[in-house]
């Protein structure tokens, strides 16, 4: 599971990801991508759980420390493997867009987590693979099929059951959570684009974490809330889990496109729902469950079709 600790693995991942978008993904690369994605799903759900139980802290404060500790993890991995901090020529704009969308999406997701059940917030965030397909169409000209577009439409319908727009202002946290999914999807599309050029995943994680800290850090000056030892522990745990998850999800999308592996990303919702029910006494309502079934069903259909191709 710890394949991100080898520099040769980074180079191999980047090289094979640089193949043509029309070339089918090999079985070994697909299995590796799926394993990375399952690992990322587990640690992202733990990150969400730690953020939630960290208590009544400002969203920017939670976001800063989530990335601050992840930054140490990324820096240590780069120094250990001696891959350097350089950005490959032509990747500057893509890296900036990954940071912008990733940071704004994370802030939105954390804000929603404090106002929704963690299962609902995670499900809205898990619309990211569908958004990744849409964004990839514009930035890499990866043309989705009619089935792909249909699955995106079905997933959006499923999200309405979670958002519940008829409840008026109460749906605002869900809409913010929906943007969190879009931000994550756009960020992963740019990760996939950089993977085609051979950009090491560790440097992508490093610059994303650094950028997020620089954006959210100034807010701590004006709205700092003292933290108890338990809260420090929760945010350290969130940062470490986030760092592990980021390495794995970056490797996953460098090894295979979203359309081939996205269905496995939804295991995060299962992990998050279990944590919510066991530790937070959070049980999704019937409308949310319907939304889960619709969205996961669309993802499974899309993956099965891509697999047959």
Residue-wise DSSP of 17-64 = HTS-TTSPPPHHHHHHHHHHHHHHHHHHHHHHHHHHHT-S--HHHHHH
281 burial (CB, 10 Å; 0-12 / 13-18 / 19+) is: exposed
Nearest-angstrom CA–CA distance, 292 and 246:
24
Q: What is the pLDDT of residue 168?
A: 54
The residues spanned by each domain of the chain are 26-308
Residue 15 neighbours by CB distance under 10 Å: 12
What is the pTM (predicted TM-score) of this model? 0.72
Q: What is the pLDDT of residue 100?
A: 94
List per-block mean pLDDT (blocks of 10 residues) for the chain, which spans 309 residues: 37 38 63 87 88 86 86 85 83 91 91 79 76 79 75 77 62 85 88 82 88 92 89 88 83 74 74 83 81 80 72
Q: What is the pLDDT of residue 251?
A: 83
Residue 33 neighbours by CB distance under 10 Å: 25
Q: What is the pLDDT of residue 4?
A: 36
Q: Are 223 and 58 in contact (CB under 8 A)?
A: yes
Q: What is the pLDDT of residue 9?
A: 36
- Residue 196 structure tokens: 């085609």
């Amino acid at each position: 599971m710890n394949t991100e600790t080898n520099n040769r693995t980074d180079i191999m991942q980047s090289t094979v990801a640089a193949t043509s978008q029309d070339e089918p993904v090999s079985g070994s690369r697909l299995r590796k991508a799926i394993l990375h994605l399952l690992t990322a799903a587990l640690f992202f759900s733990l990150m969400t759980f730690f953020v939630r139980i960290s208590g009544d802290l400002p969203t920017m404060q939670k976001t800063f420390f989530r990335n601050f500790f992840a930054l140490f993890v990324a820096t240590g991995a780069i120094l250990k493997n001696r891959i350097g901090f350089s950005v490959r020529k032509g990747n500057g704009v893509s890296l900036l867009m990954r940071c912008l969308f990733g940071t704004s999406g994370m802030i939105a997701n954390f804000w929603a987590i404090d106002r929704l059940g963690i299962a609902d917030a995670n499900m809205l965030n898990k619309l990211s693979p569908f958004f990744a397909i849409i964004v990839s169409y514009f930035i890499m000209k990866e043309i989705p099929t009619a089935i792909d577009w249909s699955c995106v439409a079905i997933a959006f319908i499923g999200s309405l059951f979670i958002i519940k727009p008829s409840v008026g202002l109460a749906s605002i946290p869900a809409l913010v959570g929906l943007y969190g999914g879009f931000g994550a999807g756009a960020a992963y599309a740019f990760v996939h684009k950089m993977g085609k050029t051979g950009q090491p995943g560790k440097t992508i994680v490093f610059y994303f974490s650094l950028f997020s800290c620089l954006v959210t850090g100034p807010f701590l000056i004006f709205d700092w809330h003292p933290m108890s030892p338990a809260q420090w522990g929760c945010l350290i745990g969130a940062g470490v889990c986030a760092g592990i998850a980021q390495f794995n999800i970056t490797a996953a999308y460098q090894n295979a496109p979203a359309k081939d592996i996205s269905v496995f990303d939804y295991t995060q919702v299962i992990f998050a729902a279990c944590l919510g029910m066991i530790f937070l006494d959070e049980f999704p309502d019937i409308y949310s469950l319907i939304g889960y079934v619709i969205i996961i069903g669309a993802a499974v259909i899309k993956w099965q079709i891509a697999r047959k191709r």
